[in-house]
Amino acid sequence: MPKVDEIVIFSGFNNLTLARIPQVGQEDHGTFFEYNRYHELFAQQKERSLSVRNLLRRKEKPAAADPPSRSEQIAHAADLTLRHLAGWKSLAAAWGAKITYILQPLSTWVRDEGSEEEEIIFAELEQVGGFSARYGDIMGREVNIEYSSILERGARDLGVDYLNFSPAMADSLDADRWTFIDRIHLTDRGHDFVARKILEHLQNGS
């Protein structure tokens, strides 16, 4: 690979959502989406062959367990994210590259109510997937503050530039600007807005 001078990581929310899966389902580097569905489909193959049955002895779905508390989820997600960030720091050291870690925004971490277009989409998605029912306990700004404070301390200890993008976004986002296509993913214009704000942050060196 060519020499890299600067690495920008825009991440953090997936680790938080996946941290709600009980510890029995977590591995060294966390877990994955559709974890329960994966085990259900795997179990359906139970009678297909002896080799699959032997593999299932090692892959049986763990016993059901209650999800961790909100504080436990935040602590686990932060620990996992910082361990991954430490890996990036080691990789960047080979080039002498600077790393900037940016905690990605969630719509409810940015503003209480979205644009007209966003609210229509959010309502439709609630009927289909129930984002609030699954992730309502981590949608509040207090979670963003708690999660970000741990990440910021860890990034500082690693010598990594850090930015919590949600409050930065809230300070400069017009109330009627259509930015999100769901609670976490951005429109094309949303990506353009984010890219420009990140560039400003990097150029200011703050």
| Cβ neighbours around 151 below 10 Å, total | 22
Nearest one of 32, 135, 20, 153 to 76, comparing CA atoms: 20
Mean pLDDT, the chain, rounded, equals 83
Distance CA 18, CA 134 (A): 11
pTM of the model: 0.79
Residue 115 has pLDDT above 90, yes or no: yes
Give the residue with greater pLDDT, 51 vs 177: 177
Residue 18, pLDDT score: 82
In order of their start, the domains of the chain are 6-20+67-204 (3.40.50.1110), 23-66 (no CATH)
Q: Which of the pair, 68 or 59, is modelled with greater confidence?
A: 68
- The radius of gyration of the chain's CA atoms, rounded to the nearest angstrom, is 20
Mean pLDDT of 11-23: 79
- Please give the pLDDT value at position 38: 57
Q: Which residues pair with 180 in a beta bridge?
A: 186
Backbone angles phi, psi at 96, to 5 degrees: 70, 30
DSSP character at residue 180: B
Helices (H) and strands (E) in the chain, counts: 10, 3
Residue 44: per-residue pLDDT: 64
Q: For residue 131, what pLDDT band results from cuts at 50, 70 and 90?
A: confident
CA–CA gap between residue 188 and residue 44 (Å, rounded): 40
